[in-house]
Structure 1
């Protein structure tokens, strides 16, 4: 497991200590959990909740219905 050194001012380190104690985890674990929450590769929950809320996109045939017939290609 790698280690990272970060520098925090006195006020911030006290907030970290208090928050970690309230969560009943080590300061290192509390910071790692916070980083995990902000460094993810999936869509945010708000985006996932939007699934199915928009109308279904039209099919290819529906989109091309008003375009008419294609002109046949000339033979090579």
Structure 2
């Protein structure tokens, strides 16, 4: 596992110490967890919850109404 050095002012160090103690993890683990949370690749929950919420979005039939009928496929 790699190590990284970061420089924090006294106020920030105290906040890290307090937060990691409250979470009952090491300072290193607390910082690693914070980085993990902030660097995820999933869509945020607020965005995922919006899926399907646009009621005015046209339905498939409405979108294709002016395109005409599909032509039949050729048999292989």
Name the TM-score class by shorter chain.
0.7 to 0.9
2:22 aligns with: 22
Per the alignment, do residues 41 and 57 of structure 1 end up closer, same or farther by CA in structure 2, a change over 3 Å counting? farther
1:31 aligns with: 31
> What is the root-mean-square deviation in Å for CA atoms of aligned residues?
2.1
Q: Give the deviation of 1:58 after TM superposition.
A: 2.7
Question: TM-score, normalised on structure 1?
Answer: 0.74
**Unaligned segments of structure 1, at least 5 residues:** 70-76
Q: Give the deviation of 1:63 after TM superposition.
A: 2.5
1:63 aligns with: 63
Give 3-state SS (helix, strand or coil) of 1:19's partner. Answer: helix
Q: Higher Cα Rg: structure 1 or 2?
A: 1
**Unaligned segments of structure 2, at least 5 residues:** 70-76
Question: TM-score, normalised on structure 2?
Answer: 0.74
